[in-house]
A and B are shown apart, each in its own frame.
Chain A
Amino acid sequence: MKTDPAGVLTGAHYLDGDFACGEGAMAAGCRFVAGYPITPSTEVVERISRRFPMMGGTFIQMEDELASMAAVVGASWTGTKCLTVTSGPGFSLMMENIGLAAMMETPCVVVDVQRGGPSTGLPTMVGQADMMQARWGSHGDYELIALCPQSPQEAFDLMIDAFNLSEIYRIPVMFMMDECVGHMTEKVVIPEADQIEIVPRKLTSQTPEEFLPYRVNGGYVPEFARAGDGYRFHTTGLTHNEHGYPVMSAECQEQNVRRLIYKIRDNADQIVRFEDDGVDGADIVLVTYGITARVAQMAMEMAREQGVKVGMMRLIIAWPFPEKRIKELAGKIKAFVVPEVNYGQMVLEVQRCAEGLAPAVLVSHGGGGVHEPETIVEAIMGAAK
């Protein structure tokens, strides 16, 4: 359906990535945000808290990130689209209830504007070291989706996709910004509301008598009932059957958790998203995301001038990871080069998926800045030898 025009600030604007992300959420129909201040993400909720009272949205500043995430999961059960926003230290605290959202199958979006870590790390400076945490941070087995915008425009555009994906699969979606993208200011074009397609919360058409909250009839995603509509359902973070009742058994675990995993794995081909630049016929393929994709762009051009056939695969969705594409390329190229503002995270995925057919060379940057393009060029030249 078309989105609610109340949240759409149509026009061309000059916005930083955090503001653009907030605008994207409001345009996507988000009407409840719970958050706790943390640099460099706070501008997202500052933007939202200024505009929300004019569009029927509620923002609440909670006492901590544990509470923010819990409130978001609770609010989502009313059908209201929900968001929370944080950075590394807060992301760690949110992991508990991100797991709850995954287990209860609660749509919501979590923004992490990444800064240098571990611990308090570099509060005002860039990092990309939460990529594995986004995927594996909460305990137990689950799957989710993570997007990585590389510009303020993408922070807006991908936010709409993030909300839509959370609705389609009933999962928490991670929105992995980084401090550079969050704080860079660029032109952001926001379309008319009737150009923005959103996936509304689809409510069950069954009666309360027939409805079971986790029945899928062979499908992947159960139908949803809102709290307050008379369904009197039960949901829990415990392993549960289709009634939403706890059942402590290996059989129920298998039935419950397998579906949480395979609703994403079996649909990965539809979800995976990346952008190729000169990959066909390349000897070297850069695998990048977020701010580093923009630095790598320059490195790629420099290496091409030196005669190396180098292409770039930019991850727009990092999780699920484009396994098939990496494997396919691995059989054709000399090497992958993976620059990241961390000491090696997504490179591990590239190595895993390449299955030894091509090496994946990490170009690390510990955080607090981005790579010098020359460092990446050097790695490309080394790998091309």
Chain B
Amino acid sequence: MSTVSEQTAVESTESKVEHPIAPYLRMDRMPHIWCPTCGIGTVVKCYATALGEAGVDLDKVAIVSGIGCTGRVAGYMNLDAFHTTHGRAIPFATGLKLGRPELLVTVFSGDGDLVGIGGNHFIHTARRNMDLLVILVNNFIYGMTGGQNAPTTPLTAKTSTMPYGNFENPFNLPHLAASCGASYVARWTCLHTRRLTKSFKEALGRKGFRFIEVIAPCSTLYARLNRLGTGFELMRFYHDNAEIRHDADLNDVAIDFQGKIVCGKFVDEERPTFIDLMHAHYERTLGDKYRPMPPEGGWIHE
């Protein structure tokens, strides 16, 4: 992210050429708050690029974040953007989608937010196959509050609240999402910018609960507490340890401390969404009496 904003600053003063993703960002809010070599900015860059490549109507795209470092993403995107409460981005987004079904709603938040405090919402919304693109940036730690243990912290990794190493089992998120009923499940690291962008673009064109986990470095806390080196070394780690296996058995994609990171598109199935099922069911049971909410929403006006 810092590279993006620096480039923009340089280009706008010297050559007046706008950075390609500047139109997708709130440039009036730059510089952002993320640390140098944090991975979140890269994920934002890929998402913005995918929005452009997918050719979606940006006026109809809404983005919802919860709380945390990744929770700040909504605040930097030049879309209808909601920075909500901790853990509640998914149910908030569910309301937005159902209140105006034509919206394309993205949830963009962190691991602590979406599967720690928000875990119950995550599993139920996947179960409903609610029409949401859920981007989860997994940095294995609570970043904003100072490096506490997360439900994704690998066993033995050190965190500020597990200073002798984590002894709790972490979630295997692709497995969790798939077993709950998500229609699209992928995992990438933020080294895989091309594949990640492609995955975002593809998922923007799909329906249902689309879950993309992005492994990203928290250089300030996770990497420092565990002595994993600088941003460059973290990227090299991804390069050496990420393994692309689209057909992986999801039982086997849990992440061990400094172990292999199995990436890929694990699930891509067209399955009826909550809204599809609701329409079909009421059409069947109520016939002509059924009056669905119009795509533009239930707003009553003169």
Are B301 and A201 closer than 8 Å at their CB atoms? yes
Given the complex of chains A and B, what is the CA–CA distance between A97 and B100 in angstroms?
20
B64 interface neighbour in A74, A78, A232, A233, Cβ under 8 Å: A74
B75 interface neighbour in A6, A55, A198, A246, Cβ under 8 Å: A246
Report the nearest A residue to B95, measured CB to CB. A74
Q: Which chain A positions have C-beta within 8 A of B292? A: 53, 56
Is B94 an interface residue when CB atoms closer than 8 A count as contact?
A: yes
Are A77 and B96 closer than 8 Å at their CB atoms? yes
A79 interface neighbour in B83, B90, B278, B299, Cβ under 8 Å: B299
Q: B37-45, B230-238, B283-291: which lies at the A interface?
A: B283-291
Are B299 and A80 closer than 8 Å at their CB atoms? yes
B96 interface neighbour in A64, A75, A229, A245, Cβ under 8 Å: A75
Given the complex of chains A and B, what is the CA–CA distance between A125 and B291 in angstroms?
37
Are B301 and A70 closer than 8 Å at their CB atoms? no
Are A228 and B59 closer than 8 Å at their CB atoms? yes
Number of chain B residues close to chain A: CB under 8 A: 52
Is A72 an interface residue when CB atoms closer than 8 A count as contact?
A: yes
Within 8 A of A (CB), among B68-113: 74-75, 78-85, 87-88, 90-96, 98-100, 102-103
Report the nearest B residue to A1, measured CB to CB. B302
Given that A71-B92, A73-B92 are contacting pairs, would A226 and B298 also be in contact in the complex, using a CB cutoff of 8 Å?
A: no
Given the complex of chains A and B, what is the CA–CA distance between A235 and B79 in angstroms?
11
Q: Which chain A positions have C-beta within 8 A of B245? A: none
Given the complex of chains A and B, what is the CA–CA distance between A201 and B300 in angstroms?
8
Are A228 and B98 closer than 8 Å at their CB atoms? no
CB distance from B115 to the nearest CB of A (A): 14
Are A238 and B83 closer than 8 Å at their CB atoms? yes
Q: Which chain A positions have C-beta within 8 A of B84? A: 70, 73-74, 100, 236-237
Are A73 and B95 closer than 8 Å at their CB atoms? yes
Within 8 A of B (CB), among A46-75: 53-58, 60, 62-64, 66-68, 70-75
Most buried by B among A53, A235, A246: A53
Report the nearest B residue to A108, measured CB to CB. B95
Are A74 and B91 closer than 8 Å at their CB atoms? yes
Given the complex of chains A and B, what is the CA–CA distance between A243 and B78 in angstroms?
12
Q: Which chain A positions have C-beta within 8 A of B301? A: 1, 79, 200-201, 203
Given the complex of chains A and B, what is the CA–CA distance between A64 and B121 in angstroms?
9
Is B175 an interface residue when CB atoms closer than 8 A count as contact?
A: no
Given that A73-B92, A234-B26 are contacting pairs, would A53 and B80 also be in contact in the complex, using a CB cutoff of 8 Å?
A: no
Q: Which chain A positions have C-beta within 8 A of B290? A: 53-54
Are B80 and A81 closer than 8 Å at their CB atoms? no
Is A338 an interface residue when CB atoms closer than 8 A count as contact?
A: no
Given the complex of chains A and B, what is the CA–CA distance between A246 and B294 in angstroms?
34
Within 8 A of A (CB), among B235-277: 274
B100 interface neighbour in A80, A230, A243, Cβ under 8 Å: A80
Q: Which chain B positions have C-beta within 8 A of A3? A: 300
Given the complex of chains A and B, what is the CA–CA distance between A232 and B92 in angstroms?
17
Is B62 an interface residue when CB atoms closer than 8 A count as contact?
A: yes
Is A323 an interface residue when CB atoms closer than 8 A count as contact?
A: no
Are A228 and B80 closer than 8 Å at their CB atoms? yes
Q: Which chain A positions have C-beta within 8 A of B99? A: 32, 58, 74-80, 82
Given the complex of chains A and B, what is the CA–CA distance between A237 and B98 in angstroms?
21
Is A274 an interface residue when CB atoms closer than 8 A count as contact?
A: no
Given that A66-B91, A70-B84 are contacting pairs, would A78 and B59 also be in contact in the complex, using a CB cutoff of 8 Å?
A: no
Within 8 A of B (CB), among A20-48: 29, 31-32, 34
Is B116 an interface residue when CB atoms closer than 8 A count as contact?
A: no
Is B282 an interface residue when CB atoms closer than 8 A count as contact?
A: yes
Is B124 an interface residue when CB atoms closer than 8 A count as contact?
A: yes
Q: Which chain A positions have C-beta within 8 A of B291? A: 6, 53-56
Q: Which 6 residue pairs across A and B have the least CB separation, nearest first? A: A74-B95, A31-B298, A75-B99, A78-B99, A75-B95, A79-B299
**Please, could you name 15 A-B residue pairs with CB atoms under 8 Å apart, sorted by A?**
A31-B293, A32-B95, A55-B291, A62-B91, A63-B124, A71-B94, A74-B94, A75-B99, A78-B298, A198-B300, A200-B301, A226-B299, A231-B80, A233-B80, A243-B28
Query: Which A residues contact B (CB, under 8 angstroms)?
Result: 1, 3-4, 6, 29, 31-32, 34, 53-58, 60, 62-64, 66-68, 70-82, 96-97, 99-100, 198, 200-201, 203, 226-238, 243, 245-246
- Extra contacts, 12 of them, besides A53-B282, A58-B278, A75-B96 (Cβ < 8 A), are A34-B94, A54-B290, A56-B291, A56-B293, A67-B90, A70-B91, A77-B96, A79-B299, A80-B100, A80-B298, A96-B88, A235-B81
